[in-house]
Structure 1
Amino acid sequence: MEFRVLGPVAVRLGEQVQVVTGRLQRTLLGVLLSRVNQPVPVDALTDALWGGNPDPRAAQKLQLHVHRVRALLDDPDRLSFGNSGYRLRAAPEEIDAERFRVLADEAANLEPHRAVKALRAALGLWQGVPFAGVDVPALNDWARQLTERRLTACEALYQAELACGLHEAVIDELTELTAEHPLRERLHGLLMTALYRAGRQSDALAVYRRARDIMVAELGLEPGPELRELHQRVLGGDLREPVAAVHGDLPAQLPADVRGFTGRDAELSELDGMLATEPPMVIAAVAGTPGVGKTALAVHWAHRVRDRFPDGQLYVDLRGYGPDEPLSAADALAGFLRALGLDGAAIPDDLAERAARFRSLVDQRRLLVLLDNARSVDQVRPLLPGSATGFTLVTSRDSLAGLVAREGAHRIGLNRLPIADAVRLLHGLLGARAEAEPAAVGTLVERCARLPLTLRIAAELVRSRPGRAIGELAGELASQQDTLDLLDIDGDPYTAVRAVFSWSYRRLDPAAARVFRLLGVHPGHDVDVTAVAAMTGTGRQETRRALAALVRAHLVDQAPGGRYRPHDLLRVYAAELAEADDTAAPLTRLLDHYLATACAAMDVIAPHERARRPVVTAAATRTFDDYQAAFGWLDTERANLFAATLHAAPAYVVGMSDALWRYLHLGGYDDDALTLHTRALVAAESLGDAAMEANARRTLANATFRAGHVPPALAHLQRARELYQQVGDRSLEAAAWNNIGIMHWRQGDLAKAIGCFRHTERLYTEIGGTGLRAPAMNNLARLLCMLGQYDEAYEQFERGLENARASGNRASVTSALCGLARVHLATANHSEALGRATTALTTAQDTGYRVLAGTATRLIGAAHRGLGEHETAVRHLDAAIRIARMVGEPDDLMAALNERAAAHVDAGEWDAALGLHREVLATEDGNRDELAHALAGIGDVHAALGDDDAARERWRRAAAIYREMGMPQADDMAVRLLTTRPRPARSV
């Protein structure tokens, strides 16, 4: 049952929607819904229905209308009568106005691209003016509130779409809405922003002038400060697109601020001063001994000044010192580029290219970059922005002399806390107990080497022993320092802190002590409760208690998201302690947990491939309710999953590669895929296991192909196919044939590609009952469509769609829908193409397949172009080009550029069309059919300009490619060549 008031009052029962036609019934139902689940007195209802015209029979007439309303309900008892009046029962989700409110409120807490989806769904509930046809005082207030909320939701929607980079897409709607509501300043501001970012600065300024004229004339007031400031920013050219336009939210990666931060006033002032110089200094390096508080200082200062960097804050722990391998500059850049909106193959393979792309993205942005725990200058240098508008802060145990000499970094040497600040820190941590024993506090400060890390650990131990004097504990520490080895790092005498660690460790209960030791065994950088519980073999509640004890003792830091991480020095100490334990069983349980849970996550993401995943002996220790939760867990644990393969048997490495390949492909983690699958191939070859080697080669071929290296990818697949034949795995043999077909397609050999896809189909038919055939069916259908065999292509796409839906393969569902749209476009059935492509876009957005979202967006644009809706077509094609650039999908980019060029031809904009076609020709590793389309398009433009010689030369080249690929466009080119005669070109 659904009640609708956002438009004409109506009820929906099942699939049947019935508009309430009688004015009195509409009024009665509306008033009851306005006070749903509450009794409404009879007098209030009769007053709403008949107003100032009292009728002695009003009560009887009311009963008649109540009877008619009851007839609309699924259960007449929903509308009951009691002493206080009539009560209509309905759940909030049964009322469209309430569903609208919930969706709009939820959107406020979502990142922009998800907020757009929620807000579009909320606004889609509106069918017109609330309570259309009903005008009674009892409902007017609610109607006004709903209308205001709708406008607020519209503003939030356009704000989110601007954050997603859809500037041109929102201009028309914003223009219309500002005309309807000329006194809403926020709408004018959003329209100005959209116009400016679309390159229309003068139009943006004109919007402000019109808004000001209206407000002065209507209200006698100047625009508010926000709109005036926006006007000044447009005038000054300082209204740039956000850095993370595609993903929406600006990067905000700083760790949590340090609680109880004490001292360092001079260093903080020194950092502040760097922002005030002219020109401002842009690189600072904080250097000092371990535990001296470099990260704490950097993070605390970054939080103090974050408002001065409106384009966001980037943070990375470079892991320069500690038990982990240092993070490479290439991996750090990949993380930054993803945070700034890039996905997949849009992230270059080469380190220098990544650094250049990073510098381009952050050029002239006011961005704060915090590079924590750097090992060397070489690790830092590629991560530096190139412009002077941002600020980079580096922390390291190294002096980073090269950074100072070459890049002009300002180095701040961080020494141990001054005695006064160290004492003040302990006073802040211990309160009255420190005041009662000043001499003991001084002794404890020296015993802890005046290092903030050890001071916090010692303070927690003091708090945990309320019956002992501080002086007694300081003496105990002194005696232990005489008997324990001192931890000497880099020859620094002030890093002798093992005694302090030991002092705190010995106070732990056995369960917490064991967890601490196992953290030294864990191969990754941070960990969650579930993984620790897997290692200990105990329950999550007991594990959580142990971790809480470690956090209280400052032996472990708790990071956002329920994750735990010990300081580097403490990890070394924990690993030393663990050497006396039998760690084989905990490590085995951990590895089993990671593999089993990774497989469980992939079962949600790609259920159709469940049979291909490795067989796991352990049960997954957590489950996932939906696609986003599964993908989010894999994103969070990716580094740990990779680290696990460094400590595992070869079979485990192959299994993890098999489990993760689809996730790495969908997420665009191409570097990680190449690393893991190469590691898997080495492992499989060491075992001499043909099936494992075949799996490793298949997954490595996919990663190699994604990196643009077709010949080696094809070689891996050919060998994988042979191995699958040897071991009798016909399903994976078919998968290898499908992938080989893709390689031939990419190389332009359509005949070989079709042969591979048809052979794949035959294998799947012989196997029977497989839910894995949809990708091959869609691939074959696409080639048939390219070759002009539209009827067979359509039938094949329909079969692929049916198979994909039945098997839960959401990527193939979207791909098949896009394919059906392609066939409709090719046969000039543009309305049907628009419907299929729109459904495909919704599916792609729901599942996060950004590549397919770009494809669907392009097809929507092409359909609108076919329908003659030029402006709408261009808006979608521009969005498709932006998506293709961001996700690094050259095929989609070339197709979108070609389609956009055709739109310019429609408008007679010849130079713009030529520029886009030439960009297609310059695309590396491009599809040959799109290259041919671009050549044909260039020829068409030259012919329109009267330069028939240039046109014929392009047509000949296009015809050669079409003929080589067996495409029907070869005949079109031949006709053009035969019917066009050379003639002098006219000037442009």
Structure 2
Amino acid sequence: MHRLTESLFGKTGVMTYSSFEGGAATADSWTGGPQGTPATPRQLPASTPHFVGRSDELRRLDTLIAAVGRAGPAGAVVISAINGSAGIGKTALALRWAHRVRHRYPDGQLYINLRGFDSRAPVAPEQALQGFLSALGAGPNEVPADLDAAAALYRGLLAERRVLVVLDNARDTEHVRSLLPGGPSCAVIVTSRNRLDSLIVREGAHRVTLDVLDTDDAIELLAARIGSGRTKSDRHTVVKLIELCVRLPLALSIVAARAASQPSLPLDSLVNELGDERMRLDALDLGDTDLNLRAVFSWSYQALNGPAVNLFQLLGVHPGPDIGLNAVASIAGVSIAKSRLLLAELTRAHLIEEYRTGRFRFHDLLRSYATEKANELSLRAHESALTRMFDYYLTAGARADKVLYPYRENLAIPTQGASRLLDKLATYEESTQWLSAEYLTLLAVARCAYETGAMTYAWQLPWILGTYFDRCGYWHDFLNMQRVAAAAADAVNDRIARAHSYRLLGRAYSLTGHFQEAIENHGNALDLFCVLGNVEGQARALRHLSLTYEGNKENSKAFEYAERACSLFGEINNKVGKARALNSMARCAVRLERYEDALIYCDEAMNLFRAVNRRDRQGEADSLHNLGYTHYYLGDYKKAVGHYIEAIEIWRYLGSRSYEAATLAHLGDAYLALGKRVDARAAWSAALAIFGPLRHPDARKMREKLSAN
């Protein structure tokens, strides 16, 4: 294992000083001239072999260091602070650059690993100064015991000398403040997992924040260590391996070491190991503490204060790809202001990233580590965090869904105080933005609810996404989530839950073209709503049955079910429900060549939509589409175009992409009938641009029309 470590990172033979990790300097760590001549330390460790990328950062460091000796803020020393997460390659960059520019510092180079984040105790500033002063020629009896006095002597010895100082692995600004030279002839490069904000503000340091490698540089790193033959033979596997390592240099180096030590090991076997989230950190452990990703992460984790540790653990409970500030506060059970402070500490330590204002995320390897730490919570704390999380997303999601479509049936959602931390969701735009930001998280949270046995949440969370699924055309996600919801409803054996879940499952099956499964689930929902005496539920199930038969081109049956739904909605004076049923009747009437009846149904539906207190814009757009559809078959193509364009404007406002695409497809037909071939192709192309990413079956029809015209 020692040879493996050595081949991976190279020997540090240039520096025989056991410390510059905390011991006393030896004669080998510096060179001196004749008696009385100042010592010239040469303490830089060897540069990391197989260094790749970081060209932008190296150029920036070159630019910063060019300022040494030139006009600056009161002749201040130039300080470059390289920060980033564990394993990102801070030390590698610092040493590569230091070797590249050491000729500019003929009076020497000082280096120390301050062990701010390490398995061993940090090197105290006093201890570091003692080593530096010895290296600069101060005798043992000349080094003051007092920190301030030692720092003053250090600055005096560096005055008028051109020395490069590398302070590696600092814990915070106070860890390095006493080690900073006083004049502009020297330069300092500091590395830390902490952002060192105080060093930036008070000392004028220049921050260089490292991100993960890009894919090409990651491939180059692997190729340099395991051979280009293995990386070129299966690029797809190599790219997958790189992504599982999140392009983190240390993780890539560990994987490369494993692959290099086992030349016959197929790279896809490493992909399989890393693909198991439960075993991922085990696969990134070569035994040595500095080649064990879990241990390397732990050094940052152990540097946190108690409340930040607790928050990190609680964030490990969260299953989504990212998380908003209000959700953090809800899960932690603290105020938003307190959450912001704790998140700032985690962000400074690069244990989480604020990649957008108010939104935070782990990379996948840190997520695995956070999940492990979450398992150290007590059972009660873990379950409480889950409940607070489910409450937050369910309450906020229900509010956003209600703003998107006020006329959806009411669903009683019990919560436990989540409302005080909810995001502002008063307008359509705010609600749509929230759902767009939280969509993938809501899917993950719903699955988490099912997997942890929280079955009421597991069927209600998919329910609140029903409107959003439909408007965005995310029908395959709709189907997958409603399968989870139906299974959860069955598990709790709640007839209301089963009725709602079966109806939406039927709708999801219908939208994805599984009509028989849709009919079966709608039938089950209808039976349950009848048993419950829920007339509105019966009417909704009947209308969805109509939509299913319509999709299956059984227009007579579709009209029959729509008419029955219309009658039930009328009985309970649900104007919006009745109008939606009338819209279904209108489409069926067109297909049954009852065009005048279709116009009557459309007009009646439009009047109902516009009569309610809050206009149902989606219903209006549906009626306009149907009017265009009817006029098209009546041969009045100009009217058809006008109605379609009005409908498209509303669909776009609502963000109803799938419905916009459907109307665009019909608009293209109307333009073609008017002899406007260019406009027709533009409409079909716009429809295809939406249908394609949604994997909609009508994408093929658009391609055929574009090919034929």
TM-score (norm 2): 0.59
Cα deviation for residue 723 of structure 1 reads 0.7
> Hey, what does 2:319 align to over in structure 1?
523
Instruction: For residue 893 of structure 1, report the CA deviation from its aligned partner.
Output: 6.4
Amino acid across the alignment from 1:843? I
The aligned counterpart of 2:513 is 708
Distance 1:498 1:468, change over 3 A: farther
User: What is the Cα deviation at residue 418 of structure 1?
Assistant: 11
Mapped partners of 1:422, 1:730: distance in 2: 71
Return the offset for 1:489. Answer: 5.1
CA distance in structure 2 between the aligned counterparts of 1:437 and 1:865, rounded to whole angstroms: 77
Structure 2 residue 421 is the aligned partner of structure 1 residue 748:
no
* Matched-pair contact (CA < 8 Å) for 1:551–1:557: yes
Alpha-carbon contact 1:520-1:578 (below 8 Å) kept? no
Taking a change above 3 Å as real, the CA distance of residues 563 and 789 of structure 1, as seen in their structure-2 partners, is same
Secondary structure of the residue aligned to 2:319 is coil
Match of 1:438 among 111, 123, 129: 111
Q: Work out whether residues 668 and 682 of structure 2, in 8 Å CA contact, stay in contact via their aligned partners in 1.
A: yes
Instruction: Say whether residues 1:543 and 2:366 are aligned partners.
Output: no
| Equivalence for 2:128 | none
Give the distance between the partners of 2:687 and 2:651, measured in 1 at CA: 13
Task: Mark the CA change 1:642 to 1:444 in structure 2 (over 3 Å): closer, same or farther.
Answer: closer
Where 2:660 maps in the other structure, the secondary structure is helix
Counterpart of 2:512, as a letter, is: A
How far 1:735 moved relative to its partner?
Answer: 0.9
**Offset, 1:793:** 1.1
CA distance in 2 between partners of 1:622 and 1:416 (Å): 34
1:457, 1:847 → 2: CA distance?
55
| Structure 1 position 590 matched with structure 2 position 374 | no
Matches within 5 A, 1:249-264: none
Aligned with 1:268 (options 21, 42, 52) = 52
Aligned: 1:686 with 2:482: no
Q: Give the alignment partner of residue 656 of structure 1, picking from 461, 464, 480.
A: 461
Matched, 1:819 2:626: yes
Q: Which residue of structure 1 aligns with residue 602 of structure 2?
A: 797
Q: 1:532 is paired with a residue of what secondary structure? A: helix
- CA–CA separation in structure 2 for the residues paired with 1:827 and 1:721: 36
Alignment partner, residue 530 of structure 2? 725
Q: How does 1:567-716 map to 2 (within 5 A)?
A: 567-568=366-367, 570-572=369-371, 574-579=373-378, 582-609=381-408, 611-612=410-411, 614=413, 616=415, 618-620=417-419, 621-645=422-446, 646=448, 647=452, 649-716=454-521
After TM superposition, list the pairs within 5 Å mapping 1:889-900 onto structure 2: 889-890=696-697, 894=701
Q: 1:684 to 1:730 in 2, by over 3 A?
A: same
Partner Cα distance (1:626, 1:830) in 2: 36
Cα distance in 2 between the residues matched to 1:780 and 1:457? 76
CA–CA separation in structure 2 for the residues paired with 1:420 and 1:897: 52
Q: Could you say if the C-alpha distance between residues 514 and 812 of structure 1 is closer, same or farther in structure 2, counting changes exceeding 3 Å?
A: same
| Aligned partner of residue 360 in structure 2, secondary structure | strand
- Could you report, residue by residue, the CA deviation over 1:166-187 in whole angstroms, capped at 9, with x for unpaired residues? xxxxxxxxxxxxxxxxxxxxxx
How far apart are residue 436 of structure 1 and its match?
10
Note if contact 1:654-1:680 (Cα within 8 Å) is conserved in structure 2.
yes
Deviation, 1:634, is 2.2
Do 1:613 and 1:659's aligned partners in 2 also have CA atoms closer than 8 Å? no
Superposed displacement of residue 682, structure 1? 1.3
Matched residue of 1:578: which SS? coil
C-alpha distance after superposition, 1:747-788 (max 9, x if no partner): 332221111011001110111134333332111011112222
TM-score (norm 1): 0.43
Distance 1:603 1:300 in 2: 48
* Partner Cα distance (1:457, 1:518) in 2: 34
In 1: Cα distance, 2:558 partner to 2:344 partner: 58
Name the CA distance, whole Å, in 1 between partners of 2:488 and 2:432: 26
Q: Does 1:762 align with 2:551?
A: no
2:313 and 2:371 in contact (8 A); partners too: no
What is the CA deviation profile of residues 505-524 of structure 1, one whole-angstrom value per residue up to 9, with x for unaligned ones?
45434432322221222233
2:262 pairs with 1:461: no
Residue in 2 that maps onto 1:168: none
Report whether the alignment pairs 1:848 with 2:655. yes
Residue 704 of structure 1 aligns to which amino acid in structure 2?
Answer: Y
Match of 1:554 in 2: 350
Q: What is the match of residue 492 of structure 1?
A: 286
1:108-119 superposed matches below 5 A: none
Q: Residues of 2 paired with 1:728 and 1:710: CA distance?
A: 26
Post-superposition shift, 1:702?
A: 1.7
Alignment: residue pair count:
475
Counterparts in 2 of 1:814 and 1:887: CA distance versus 1, 3 Å: farther
Aligned counterparts, 1:216-255, within 5 A = none
1:39-81 Cα offsets, whole Å, 9 max, x none, are: xxxxxxxxxxxxxxxxxxxxxxxxxxxxxxxxxxxxxxxxxxx
Q: Structure 2 vs 1, CA of residues 766 and 881 (structure 1 numbering), >3 Å: closer, same or farther?
A: same
Aligned residue for 1:945? Answer: none
Task: Report the alpha carbon displacement of residue 869 of structure 1 after superposing the two structures with TM.
Answer: 4.6
* Deviation, structure 1 residue 439: 4.5
**Aligned counterparts of 1:736 and 1:889: Cα–Cα separation in 2:** 24
Contact 1:422 1:445 (8 Å CA) reproduced = no
Q: Aligned partner of 1:824: which letter?
A: H
Note the C-alpha offset of 1:720.
0.8
Superposed, 1:779-928 pairs within 5 Å as: 779-805=584-610, 806=612, 808-869=615-676, 871-873=678-680, 875-877=682-684, 879-880=686-687, 883-885=690-692, 887-890=694-697, 894=701
Q: Which runs of 5+ in 1 are unaligned?
A: 1-261, 270-296, 302-414, 429-434, 450-455, 471-486, 902-911, 917-988
Aligned pairs for 1:41-60 (under 5 A) are none
Distance 1:507 1:878, change over 3 A: closer
Equivalents in 2 of 1:569, 1:697: separation in Å?
Answer: 35
Give the AA of the match of 2:333.
Answer: G
Q: CA deviation at 1:490?
A: 5.6
Q: Is the 8 A contact 2:308 2:343 kept in 1?
A: yes
User: Residue deviations 1:250-291, cap 9 Å, x none?
Assistant: xxxxxxxxxxxx98784537xxxxxxxxxxxxxxxxxxxxxx
SS at match of 1:438: strand
**What are the equivalent positions in structure 2 for 1:70-149 lying under 5 Å apart?**
none
Q: Distance between the aligned counterparts of 2:442 and 2:676, measured in 1?
A: 49
- The letter of the residue matching 1:563 is R
Structure 2 CA distance for partners of 1:653 and 1:457, relative to 1, 3 Å: farther
Question: 1:143-179 deviations in whole A, cap 9, x for unaligned?
Answer: xxxxxxxxxxxxxxxxxxxxxxxxxxxxxxxxxxxxx
SS state at 1:622 partner = coil
Counterparts of 1:692 and 1:884 in 2: how far apart (Å)?
32
Q: 1:861 to 1:423 in 2, by over 3 A?
A: closer
- Label 1:546 to 1:426 Cα distance change in 2 as closer, same or farther (>3 A): farther
Once the two structures are TM-superposed, the CA of residue 584 in structure 1 deviates from its matched residue by 2.6
Question: Secondary structure of the equivalent of 2:52?
Answer: helix
In angstroms, what is the RMSD of aligned CA positions? 4.2
- 1:308-343, Cα deviation, whole Å (9 max, x unpaired): xxxxxxxxxxxxxxxxxxxxxxxxxxxxxxxxxxxx
Q: Distance in 1 between matches of 2:703 and 2:282?
A: 61
Distance 1:458 1:738, change over 3 A: farther
> In the alignment, is the contact (CA less than 8 A) between 2:395 and 2:413 conserved in 1?
no
Letter in 2 for 1:783: C
* 1:362-418: CA deviation from partner (whole Å, max 9, x where unpaired): xxxxxxxxxxxxxxxxxxxxxxxxxxxxxxxxxxxxxxxxxxxxxxxxxxxxx9979
Q: Look up the equivalent residue of 1:268 and give its one-letter code.
A: V
Distance in 1 between residues matched to 2:695 and 2:374, nearest whole Å = 42
- SS of the residue corresponding to residue 173 of structure 2 reads helix
Instruction: Confirm or deny: 8 A CA contact 1:614 1:659 kept in the other structure.
Output: no
